[in-house]
Amino acid sequence: MTELSGSHVLVVGATGVLGAEVSRRLAAEGAQLTLSGRSEDKLAALGTELGDAVVGTVAADLGKPAGPADIAAAVYGRELHGVVFASGVVAFGPAVDVDDDTLDELVLVNLLGYMRLMRDVAPRLGKDSFIAQISAVVAESPTAGMAAYSATKAGLSAYGKALTLELRRQGVRVLDARPPHTETGLATRPIAGEAPKLPEGKDPGAVAERIVKAIRDGERDLPSSAF
């Protein structure tokens, strides 16, 4: 079991639909939150909503060179007990048609930014702390028309599995969550291409509740079938 009440958790991607839902549920569990996202306005609105549960906010873009370091700096000076990584962008289209700018942004935001953040943040996590990274079902089942996106999510999942082994002695638990398609609206805001017809997705609130339960219960792997 992980005690969330009184813990300090960094939520990266807090201004997204799923990140905000996770933040709300962590706040309800009594956690203190540092929220990160691209939009200062959305961060301010979520901070106002969650009130005293929010101890800090940082507007930063993981796709920019200084983004990961800016996020890490926001939690300096305060003991950190957990990290939730809920950031991500999506793109659609045949693999051979995805241009360099799209590839760069997918890899930077979905994977490299997180890896750079972990270099700064993971060493400062103590015994019985956690990292919860939210990947996607495409990490398990790469999807045509989403090859580059699938690759970044599969890379994130693989990175988390290796990180689990490296941080075990430190007492840090890594949870890799791979939810099915969820109605976050992300598919309507691709950085390139157009989404194919998708089945009705999961409710974001229910997905967030399952992820927070996994954090609380000490789970390490949350496949798409668990939602």
Per-residue pLDDT tens digits for 130-164: 999 999 999 999 999 999 999 999 999 999 999 99
pLDDT at 199: 84
- Ordered structural domains, the chain, with CATH: 8-133+140-226 (3.40.50.720)
pLDDT at 196: 86
- Provide mean pLDDT across the span 209-225: 97
Query: pLDDT grade, residue 121 (50/70/90)?
Result: very high
Q: What is the pLDDT of residue 168?
A: 95
Helix extents (H) in the chain: 17-28, 40-50, 67-73, 100-107, 113-121, 147-167, 204-217
Residue 174 backbone class (left: φ over 0; alpha: ψ -120 to 50; beta: rest): beta
Here the tokens at position 22 are: 């996770």
User: Which whole number is the average pLDDT over 51-78?
Assistant: 96
As beta bridge partners, residue 157 has none
The yes-or-no verdict on residue 197 having pLDDT over 90 is no
Give dist(CA 227, CA 178) in Å, integer: 9
Q: Are 192 and 91 in contact (CB under 8 A)?
A: yes
Give the pLDDT band (50/70/90) at residue 1: confident
pLDDT, mean of residues 171-192: 96
Q: Is the pLDDT of residue 110 over 90?
A: yes
Q: Phi and psi (nearest 5°) for 199?
A: -70, 165
What's the CA gap between 130 and 126, in Å, rounded? Answer: 9
Residues 6+ apart with CB under 8 A from 126: 79, 81, 170, 171, 172
pTM of the complete model beyond 0.75: yes
DSSP-derived secondary structure letter, 184 = S
Cβ–Cβ < 8 Å for 132, 219: no
pLDDT at residue 6 in the model: 96
User: What value does the mean pLDDT take over residues 30-51?
Assistant: 97
pLDDT at 202 over 90: yes
Are 12 and 84 in contact by the 8 Å Cβ rule? The answer is yes
Q: How many CB atoms sit inside 10 A of residue 146's CB? A: 25
